[in-house]
Chains A and B, each alone.
Chain A
Amino acid sequence: AQKVTQAQTEISVVEKEDVTLDCVYETRDTTYYLFWYKQPPSGELVFLIRRNSFDEQNEISGRYSWNFQKSTSSFNFTITASQVVDSAVYFCALSEARETSGSRLTFGEGTQLTVNP
């Protein structure tokens, strides 16, 4: 069975600080996909990134960066120079590549990030 764990329930930082959100996953499959979503107070889950299990190259997109390490089953997300608008709940999710899984996402518990001015 697949599982995603986000051990940090809440994180509070001051604007311009860097913050890293941790994600650890479990799966028996060798091919899978990892995602990060952001949920602002409006409720809509906003897609941030998707990575497949064969691509461990880390990625930077503006103030966002992701660190995928298969050896430790982790897919961490860093926001550099945080801003108040980054305040939201962030979810890490896993999707297995088998036919029966379809587009099914298994989500972590979420991390509430609060960026204070």
Chain B
Amino acid sequence: KAGVTQTPRYLIKTRGQQVTLSCSPISGHRSVSWYQQTPGQGLQFLFEYFSETQRNKGNFPGRFSGRQFSNSRSEMNVSTLELGDSALYLCASSFGHQNTEAFFGQGTRLTVV
């Protein structure tokens, strides 16, 4: 059974640009959550999608957005990139909407220059 797949693995962008990251969950999983990991702030929850609907959102500015498709694949978008957006972005896949084990992908390392 394939795990959670995130693409691309590495990305370098310039300030002011926008970026789209992709996550394919484990087959049969309907919940996808996104997290940002930085040395200063640690692991922080961005948002969760379940059945194509955003169910929960963390404390991030509106520049961070996401969506989920009917096949449960999810994308997150960051517009008007800032240097502080440099981070490892992790996607987590769960079978259900609540409190089930979350399985993570290897992440996308975004560097903003």
Contacts and interface: CB of A to CB of B under 8 A. Distances in A.
Interface of A: 33, 35, 37, 42-47, 50, 52, 91, 95, 97, 99-110
Q: Could you tell me the dominant secondary structure of chain B's interface residues?
A: strand
Interface of B: 31, 33, 35, 42-43, 45, 48, 50, 55-56, 58, 88, 90, 92, 94, 96-107, 109
A103 B106 contact: no
Given A33-B99, A97-B99, A110-B42, A103 B31 contact: yes
Contacts of B48: 102-104
A106 B48 CA distance: 13
Nearest to A106: B45
Contact of A102 (B42, B43, B50, B104): B50
Given A103-B48, A103-B100, 5 more contacts: A45-B90, A102-B31, A104-B33, A105-B92, A106-B45
